[in-house]
Amino acid sequence: MCKVELENRVSEIQEIKTKLEARLLQLEERAHEIDDELSEPGDDDWSESAVESENDEVLEKVGNMAVAEIQKIKAALKKIDSGTYGICESCGEKIAPKRLEALHYTTICINCA
């Protein structure tokens, strides 16, 4: 890899890192809100509380998804810090920048996916 190419890659990764950190903050805030919402006491009225528990289920799913994404983002950030970001975990090849751009926290290349 020539120097210019390497510098391009570093700034690309820096850009992705910034995006990941912003997304992480957003998700953490969201997970926190969901937590608050879920721990609110339900309504006494029967029909209201039926709706409420349905909402809770949806909220819980959204919350779980947020938590799963948070974990992926944290893993990706750790890789960026250790310099292994963008390397396929399966074959050790570089992951195409286009793929990384679309899937910021993917850990395998298109051939191994």
Residue numbers at the binding site for Zn ion (CB under 5 A): 88, 90-91, 109, 112
Work out how close the CB of 23 gets to Zn ion at its nearest, in angstroms, rounded to a whole number: 24
User: Is 8 or 90 the residue whose CB approaches Zn ion more closely?
Assistant: 90
CB 96 within 8 A of CB 103: no
Work out how close the CB of 89 gets to Zn ion at its nearest, in angstroms, rounded to a whole number: 8
User: Is 63 or 86 the residue whose CB approaches Zn ion more closely?
Assistant: 86
The C-alpha atoms of residue 77 and residue 17 are separated, in whole angstroms, by 7
Angle among Cα 30, 34, 36 to the nearest 5 degrees reads: 115
- Beta bridge partner(s), residue 87: 94
User: Is 16 or 109 the residue whose CB approaches Zn ion more closely?
Assistant: 109
Work out how close the CB of 112 gets to Zn ion at its nearest, in angstroms, rounded to a whole number: 3
Q: Among 24, 34, 33, 40, which Cα is nearest to 60's?
A: 34
User: Is 34 or 88 the residue whose CB approaches Zn ion more closely?
Assistant: 88
Backbone angles phi, psi at 41, to 5 degrees: -65, 140
Work out how close the CB of 64 gets to Zn ion at its nearest, in angstroms, rounded to a whole number: 28
